């Protein structure tokens, strides 16, 4: 049998069979739009008759150097015959012409990426026939000029402005602002002018043959697959380039046939909040893109109930049916022609992070989906976005009071963004890539602007509504966005905008609130959102907790960090860095005295002074984590980090010598000498971590004493403490054999002194490849492992992170030398293999070895999945990432059941 390139909407069963019965396969074959038009037809939703040319045909066409594959065109012609039978009209017939639209549609929806041509089939002859049929010359010539215009721009590549300028001129001439005020003769005249424009630009006439129109339009859709903006979008959205697009040929229905007709777009739930209400806009007596383009002021969807009650009731019914069928929030397009409702598209609706979470939770509660599906439907990035900073309410109020509020528009995509204004996408991208925070400001956005929108921290437009291009793209990528701020007047030539009497020039600061829809001049401080108020998220995460196997702990150095982490659901502290405590103002001088002490006695004295500070810190953390484990890392950095900068001291000494100042000179010289004596050519690999503890055990002995004094004190107050003492940077088991028994002895002494026993562990941080490779030996002493994946990555790659990120890592990632930044996502093959080996070898020695991760990777979803796969007990991340990690751990567990 010859290849089948064309499927009528009613042939969805056949399409399904050809791909083995799998709906994803149907979507791959027909594209999302085509598959859903066919599916709606199957379940009895009114869709105008039509057919889909497959994505395979598109790929075949492009591969063959822009040649239709054999049999395709014949099949398209046959399908047209079938549509003629279904509609009782004839393509190209002067008496009763069939008109169709030609629409692109890839597997994944790419809003506005590839263009649609409406009214194909109109020519000078059929237009006359249509006039007789409809008795509405104005309508017909409006449709005809639209065809010439769309065909001219989309298919023939003439710039849209060539047509729009003429239209604007005519309106100006007539002294009118709205298209609806143009007469039949105006449209007729424009149709002729537009045809002339085609001739001028292309050197040939607008094709009168409807089949020629169909053929060229089909080809144009195929070719648009590799159009620049489509390629850019796919790169940004990580969509494969070899999927191809389907071509959908759909019988035209007209929303511009009078006031019993209309067109609209709607979401079955509110895409901003997730609330279970219809959300959308429509226009009576309008066609196609009029609603999205924001040319006329649209009406809210519920007003349709008053305008056209019957069609509205049917529409509400269909929306419910579609949600039940797809078990997902839908984004639909519809047209009403003389009171008769037609559905032109449905797809899973894009939504904000907040809405994604609410919809998932609601649908599970409604019984439409399972809790597992609800958990899977919310992306880790949604949780991240939701917990992003918002503006400080007081600061915002104050800014408003000071007259800094420029405008209020539509709150299209939530979140607060602060940045400098850039008035075009290229500049936004340039500045954004250069590390500037940018707010991109445009009258409206187009698909060509996507690269700038992605590089911007926020987007502001003066035109368009909640379903405009800017709004849709911003929501998808989680960029805060305000659209339709009509009080803002943008002067692109002078590179400035004016609103509320304030002029903002390019490069000046702007703050936009995508949650409320406001824009302010200047920088407004932001605050973290309140987790406890996000009830849907809390519910969803409680479901996620039932699925995940990995525990989620947090890295926290201070009691309030620990308490916050616990509020986010942390089940332990995976890393408490003690050295942060050394840097506090009143403590640093003591620390320095300790380091510089010349005698054992002097050092012990300083350490004794530090002990109560440390003990106090630990008491707070143990209290906050009552009942949960707390891993405290003993001192890790090289000592010189606690001393003043060598150059500063040197400069001071030189200055004093030059000026002949003797006051304090001797001390500074002594300090300089001490610093110089500690100089290491590569401190990262020098005397730090366990090495420092072995050479200078006084510090860690003090720390362990402080930890156990704190633990015992708290235990005596009824707090359940579980200290775990972590020795950093072990490379050889003998290091642990030297230091750990000394520390265990102190622990026991303190507990004896305090007359209380607490549960405790001694373990090590695994951050040196040798420790991974000899993990069986290390585990003979260490009772737990915690991967310090930052150092482990540095040591495994032989990169110093700061140098790598500043110099070559970006290039490596951009050029694909590395698939991703290994400091953000665990390099599974290299670093990951070492980790896996460490877990296996460690557990071979000590079967109940507790294993976790405390590097930044502990908050990265992909790395969390890996930690799940190698059977770690927990991941530990920054407190703010705990909710993200809880969800990511559940995703990993469900995915790898
Ligand atoms: P996009 O993917 O950009 O939304 P569409 O193919 O959905 O492009 O079409 C663009 C506009 O034209 C939409 O408003 C759609 O509803 C309208 N449209 C497409 N086909 C028809 C048709 N056969 N009759 C009436 N309107 C149509
Ligand atoms: Mg559409
Ligand atoms: Mg380290």
Q: Is 69's C-beta closer than 6 angstroms to any atom of ligand 1?
A: no
Max Cα-Cα span within the chain: 109
The span from the CA of 689 to the CA of 639, in Å, is 10
Ligand approaching nearest to the C-alpha of 788: 3
Question: Which residue's alpha carbon is at the smallest distance from atom 27 of ligand 1?
Answer: 288
CA dihedral 582, 586, 591, 596 (to 10 degrees): 150
Q: What is the pLDDT of residue 113?
A: 54
Task: Kindly give, in sequence order, each residue whose CB lies less than 8 Å from that of residue 123, ignoring residues fewer than 6 positions away.
Answer: 92, 208, 209, 210, 213
Mean pLDDT of 84-95: 95
Give the Cα separation of 629 and 721 in Å (integer). 7
Question: pLDDT band at residue 819, thresholds of 50, 70 and 90?
Answer: confident
User: Is the confidence at residue 112, as pLDDT, over 60?
Assistant: no
Gap between the Cα atoms of 342 and 254, Å rounded: 10
C-alpha to C-alpha distance for 478 and 471, rounded to whole angstroms? 10
Question: What's the confidence (pLDDT) of residue 562?
Answer: 94
Q: Look at residue 476 and tell me whether its pLDDT is greater than 80.
A: no
pLDDT recorded at residue 803: 82
Q: What pLDDT does residue 677 have? A: 87
CB of 514 closer than 6 angstroms to any ligand 1 atom? no
Is the confidence at residue 235, as pLDDT, over 80? no
Predicted pLDDT of residue 114? 62
Which pLDDT does position 775 carry in this prediction? 98
Angstrom distances, CA of residue 895 to CA of 375, 376, 866, 888: 11, 9, 12, 10
Mean pLDDT of 223-229: 85
Decide: 256 in ligand 1 pocket, CB within 6 A. no
Say if CB 503 and CB 496 are below 8 A apart.
yes
- Ligand 1 atom, smallest distance to 104 CA: 6
- Look at 243-257, 329-343, 440-454, 680-694 and tell me which has the smallest mean pLDDT: 440-454
User: Which one of 41, 333, 336, 350 would you pick to mutate in the ligand 1 pocket, going by the greatest count of ligand atoms within 8 A of its CB?
Assistant: 333
pLDDT digits (tens, 9 = 90+) for 685-697: 999 999 999 999 9
> 603-627 b/e with 16+ CB inside 10 Å = b?
beebbebbeebbbebbbbbbbbbee
- Measured by CA distance, the residue closest to atom 12 of ligand 1 is 288
Q: Assess whether the C-beta atom of 724 lies below 6 angstroms from ligand 1.
A: no
> Which of the two residues, 821 and 476, has the higher pLDDT score?
821
pLDDT at site 230: 83
Residues 6+ apart with CB under 8 A from 107: 27, 28, 31, 32, 55, 243
Rounded to whole angstroms, the Cα distance separating 449 from 428 reads 10
Q: Which atom of ligand 1 is nearest to the CA of 291?
A: 14
Spacing, Cα 848 to ligand 3 middle (Å): 24
Nearest ligand atom owner, CA of 854? 3
pLDDT, average across residues 130-148 = 92
Provide the H-helix boundaries in 113-209.
Answer: 124-134, 137-150, 160-174, 184-202
* Distance in angstroms (rounded) separating the CA atoms of residues 8 and 27: 14
For the record, the structure tokens of 619 come out as: 């008491």
Residue of 48, 103, 214 to test ligand 1 pocket, by largest number of atoms within 8 Å of CB: 103
Residue in 760, 668, 661 with CA at minimum distance from that of residue 708: 760
50 CB near ligand 1 (under 6 Å): no
Residue 294 has pLDDT above 90, yes or no: no
Is the minimum distance from the CB of 865 to ligand 1 under 6 angstroms? no
Confidence of residue 217 (pLDDT cuts 50, 70, 90): very high
Task: Map tokens 């015992």 to a residue.
Answer: 712
Task: Tell me the best of 345, 347, 467, 468 to mutate to test the pocket of ligand 1, counting ligand atoms within 8 Å of each CB and taking the most.
Answer: 345
Q: Measured in angstroms, how far is the CA atom of residue 401 from the centroid of ligand 3?
A: 48
- Which ligand neighbours the alpha carbon of 291 most closely? 1
Give the integer Cα–Cα distance in Å for 38 and 665: 87
Residue nearest to atom 22 of ligand 1 (CA): 252
Distance, CA of 693 to CA of 756 (rounded, Å): 27
List the Cα angle 231/236/237 in 5-degree steps: 95
Provide the pLDDT for residue 231.
84
- Would the CA dihedral through 800, 804, 806, 807 be positive or negative? positive
Instruction: For residues 421-431, give the mean pLDDT.
Output: 95
Which tokens in the block code for residue 651?
């400069």
Q: Work out the number of other CB atoms within 10 angstroms of the CB of residue 297.
A: 8
Q: How far is CA 320 from CA 10, 262, 269, 327, 764, in A?
A: 22, 21, 10, 10, 57
Q: Is the CB of 335 under 6 A from ligand 1?
A: yes
Q: What atom of ligand 1 comes closest to residue 251's alpha carbon?
A: 23
Tell me the CA–centroid distance for residue 578 and ligand 3, in Å: 13
Decide: 252 in ligand 1 pocket, CB within 6 A: yes
Over the stretch 540-564, which tens digit does the pLDDT of each residue have? 999 999 999 999 999 998 898 899 9
The CA-based angle 768-769-773, given to 5 degrees, is: 125
Position 334 pLDDT exceeds 90: yes
CA angle 803, 806, 810 (to 5 degrees): 115
Burial (Cβ within 10 Å: 0-12, 13-18, ≥19) of residue 1: exposed
% of the chain residues with pLDDT over 90: 75
Residue 1 clears pLDDT 60, i.e. is over it:
no
Supply the residue whose CA is at minimum distance from atom 18 of ligand 1. 288
Q: Which two tokens stand for residue 781?
A: 């002493």
C-alpha of residue 344 to centroid of ligand 1, in Å: 7
Angle at 107 between CA 103 and CA 110, to 5 degrees: 65
Q: What is the mean pLDDT of residues 749-761?
A: 97
The count of C-alpha atoms lying within 13 angstroms of the C-alpha of 507, restricted to the half-sphere facing its C-beta, is 2
Residues with CB under 5 A from ligand 2 (ion): 345
CA atoms within 13 A on the CB side of 344: 29
Kindly list the catalytic residues. 469, 854
What pLDDT is recorded for position 409?
87
Question: Which residue intervals of 512-558 are DSSP H helices?
Answer: 535-547
What pLDDT was estimated at residue 552? 98
CA distances from 875 to 405, 538, 672 (A): 43, 20, 42
Q: What pTM value is reported for the model?
A: 0.83
Q: Which atom of ligand 1 is nearest to the CA of 333?
A: 16
Residue 109 Cα: closest atom of ligand 1: 2
Instruction: Round to whole Å and give the CA distance between 735 and 702.
Output: 19
Please state which of the ranges 37-41, 551-555, 676-680, 813-817 shows the lowest mean pLDDT. 813-817
Per-residue pLDDT of 356-405, as tens digits, reads 999 999 999 999 999 999 999 999 988 987 887 788 878 988 998 899 99
* Pairing status of strand 340-348 against strand 526-527: unpaired
- State whether the beta carbon of 112 lies less than 6 angstroms from ligand 1: yes
Q: What is the overall mean pLDDT for the chain?
A: 93
The residue whose C-alpha atom lies closest to atom 19 belonging to ligand 1 is 101
Question: Average pLDDT for residues 334-358, to the nearest whole number?
Answer: 94
- Measured N-to-C along each axis, helices 160-174 and 137-150 cross at an angle, to the nearest 10 degrees, of 150
Report the alpha-carbon distance of residue 377 to residue 356 in Å, rounded. 8
Residue 44 has a pLDDT of 97
Residue 766 CA, ligand 3 centroid: distance in Å:
9
**518 has which bridge partners?**
408, 513
Q: Best of 9, 33, 47, 118 to mutate for ligand 1, by most ligand atoms within 8 A of CB?
A: 118
Ligand 1 within 6 A of CB of 289: yes
- Distance from Cα 134 to the centre of ligand 2, integer Å: 26
d(CA 297, CA 486): 12
> What pLDDT, on a 0 to 100 scale, did the predictor assign at position 295?
62
Ligand 1 neighbourhood includes 261 CB (under 6 angstroms): no
Helix H, strand E, coil C: the string for 40-65 is HHHCCCCCCCEEEECHHHHHHHHHCC
Question: What is the DSSP secondary-structure string of 680-746?
Answer: -S-GGGSS-HHHHHHHSTHHHHHHHHHHHHHHHHHHHTT---EEEEEE----SHHHHHHHHHHHHHH
The Cα-based distances of 354 to 349, 430, 511, 518 in angstroms read 14, 30, 21, 19
Q: Whose CA is nearest to atom 20 of ligand 1?
A: 101
Ligand 1 within 6 A of 191 CB? no
CA 358 to chain centroid:
17
Candidate from 116, 121, 446 with most ligand 1 atoms within 8 A of CB, to mutate: 116
Give residue-wise pLDDT tens across range 33-80: 999 999 999 999 999 999 999 999 999 999 999 999 999 999 999 999
Q: Ligand 1 center to residue 443 CA distance, Å? A: 23
Q: In Å, how far are 431, 517, 518, 573, 895 from 480, measured between CA atoms?
A: 18, 9, 11, 33, 31
Burial of 538 (0-12, 13-18, 19+ CB in 10 A): middle
Q: Which H helix or E strand runs over 343?
A: strand 340-348
Closest residue (by CA) to atom 14 of ligand 1? 288
Residue whose Cα lies nearest atom 24 of ligand 1: it is: 252
- Per-residue pLDDT of 17-34, as tens digits, reads 999 999 999 999 999 999
* SS3 (DSSP) at 639: helix
Q: How far is the CA of 289 from the centre of ligand 2 (A)?
A: 9
d(CA 73, CA 211): 10
Does the pLDDT at position 207 exceed 60?
yes
The mean per-residue pLDDT over the stretch 471-499 comes to: 87
More confidently predicted of 227 and 378: 378
Report how far apart, in Å, the C-alpha atoms of 119 and of each of 159, 296, 666, 788 are: 19, 21, 91, 63
Ligand nearest to the CA of 289: 1
| Among 151, 344, 123, CA closest to 254 | 344
Q: Which residues contact 682 (CB under 8 A, 6 or more apart)?
A: none
Ligand 1 centroid to 194 CA: how many Å?
Answer: 22
């Amino acid at each position: 049998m010859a290849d089948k390139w064309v499927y009528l909407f009613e042939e969805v069963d056949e399409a399904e069979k050809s791909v083995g019965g799998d709906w994803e396969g149907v979507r791959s074959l027909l594209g999302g739009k085509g598959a859903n038009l066919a599916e709606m037809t199957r379940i009895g939703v009114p869709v105008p008759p039509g057919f889909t040319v497959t994505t395979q045909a598109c790929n075949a066409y492009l591969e063959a150097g822009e040649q239709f594959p054999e049999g395709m065109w014949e099949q398209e012609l046959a399908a047209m015959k079938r549509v003629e039978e279904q509609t009782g009209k004839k393509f190209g017939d002067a008496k009763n012409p069939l008109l169709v639209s030609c629409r692109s549609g890839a597997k994944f929806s790419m809003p506005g990426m590839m263009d649609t041509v409406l009214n194909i089939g109109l020519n000078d002859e059929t237009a006359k026939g249509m006039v007789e049929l409809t008795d509405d010359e104005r309508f017909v010539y409006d449709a005809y000029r639209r065809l010439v215009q769309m065909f001219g721009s989309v298919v023939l590549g003439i710039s849209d402005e060539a047509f729009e300028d003429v239209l604007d001129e005519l309106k100006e001439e007539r002294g009118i602002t709205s298209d609806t005020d143009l007469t039949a003769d105006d449209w007729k005249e424009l149709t002729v002018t537009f045809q002339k424009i085609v001739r001028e630009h292309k050197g040939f006439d607008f094709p009168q043959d409807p089949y020629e129109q169909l053929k060229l339009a089909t080809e144009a859709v195929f070719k648009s697959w590799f159009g620049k903006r489509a390629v850019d979008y796919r790169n940004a959205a990580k969509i494969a380039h070899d999927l191809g697009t389907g071509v959908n040929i759909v019988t035209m229905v007209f929303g511009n046939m009078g006031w019993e007709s209309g067109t609209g777009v709607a979401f079955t739930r509110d895409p901003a909040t997730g609330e279970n209400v219809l959300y959308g806009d429509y226009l009576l007596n309008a066609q196609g893109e009029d609603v999205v383009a924001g040319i006329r002021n649209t009406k809210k969807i519920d007003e349709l109930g008053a305008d056209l009650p019957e069609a509205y009731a049917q529409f509400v019914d269909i929306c419910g049916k579609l949600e039940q069928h797809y078990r997902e929030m839908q984004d639909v397009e519809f047209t009403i022609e003389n009171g008769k409702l037609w559905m032109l598209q449905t797809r899973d609706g894009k939504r904000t992070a907040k809405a994604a979470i609410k919809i998932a939770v609601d649908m599970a509660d409604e019984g439409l989906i399972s809790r597992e599906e609800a958990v899977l439907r919310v992306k880790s990035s949604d949780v991240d976005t939701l917990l992003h900073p918002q503006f400080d309410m007081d600061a915002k109020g104050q800014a408003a009071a000071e007259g800094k509020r420029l405008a209020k528009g539509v709150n299209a995509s939530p979140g607060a963004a602060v940045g400098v204004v850039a008035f075009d996408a290229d500049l936004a991208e340039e500045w954004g890539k250069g590390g500037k925070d940018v707010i991109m400001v445009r009258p409206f956005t187009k698909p060509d602007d996507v690269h700038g929108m992605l590089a911007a921290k926020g987007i502001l437009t003066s035109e368009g509504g909640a379903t405009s291009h800017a709004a849709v793209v911003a929501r998808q990528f989680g960029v805060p966005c305000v659209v339709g701020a009509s009080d803002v007047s943008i002067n692109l030539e002078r590179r400035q905008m004016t609103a509320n009497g304030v002029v903002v020039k390019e490069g000046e600061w702007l703050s936009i609130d995508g949650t409320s829809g406001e824009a302010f001049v200047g920088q407004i401080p932001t605050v973290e959102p309140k987790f406890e108020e996000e009830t849907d998220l809390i519910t969803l995460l409680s479901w996620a907790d039932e699925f995940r196997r990995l525990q989620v702990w947090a890295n926290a150095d201070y009691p309030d960090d620990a308490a916050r982490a616990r509020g986010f659901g942390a089940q332990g502290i995976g890393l408490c860095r003690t050295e942060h405590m050394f840097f506090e103002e009143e403590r640093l001088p003591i620390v320095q005295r300790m380091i510089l002490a010349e005698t054992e006695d002097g050092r012990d004295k300083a350490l004794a002074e530090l002990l109560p500070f440390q003990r106090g810190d630990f008491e707070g953390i143990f209290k906050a984590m009552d009942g949960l484990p707390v891993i405290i890392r003993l001192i890790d950095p090289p000592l010189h980090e606690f001393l003043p900068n060598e150059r500063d001291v040197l400069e001071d000494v030189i200055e004093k010598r030059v000026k002949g100042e003797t006051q304090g000179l001797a001390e500074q010289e002594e300090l300089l000498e001490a610093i110089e004596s500690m100089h290491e050519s590569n401190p990262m690999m020098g005397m730090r971590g366990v090495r420092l503890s072995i050479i200078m055990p006084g510090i860690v002995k003090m720390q362990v004493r402080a930890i156990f004094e704190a633990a015992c004190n708290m235990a005596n107050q009824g707090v359940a403490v579980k200290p775990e003492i972590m020795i950093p940077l072990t490379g050889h088991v003998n290091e642990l054999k030297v230091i750990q028994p000394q520390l265990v002895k102190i622990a026991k002494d303190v507990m004896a002194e305090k007359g209380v026993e607490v549960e405790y562990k001694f373990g090590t941080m695994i951050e040196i490849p040798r420790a991974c490779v000899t993990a069986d030996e290390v585990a003979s002493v260490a009772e737990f492992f915690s991967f310090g994946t930052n150092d482990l990555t540095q040591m495994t790659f032989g990169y110093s992170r700061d140098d790598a990120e500043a110099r070559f890592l970006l290039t490596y990632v951009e050029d694909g030398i590395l698939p991703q930044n290994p400091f953000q996502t665990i390099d599974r093959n290299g670093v990951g293999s070492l980790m896996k080996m460490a877990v296996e070898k460690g557990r071979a020695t000590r079967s109940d070895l507790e294993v976790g991760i405390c590097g930044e990777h502990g908050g990265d979803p992909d790395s969390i999945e890996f930690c799940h796969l190698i059977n770690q007990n927990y991941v530990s991340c920054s407190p703010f990432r705990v909710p993200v990690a809880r969800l990511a751990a559940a995703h990993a567990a469900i995915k790898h059941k």
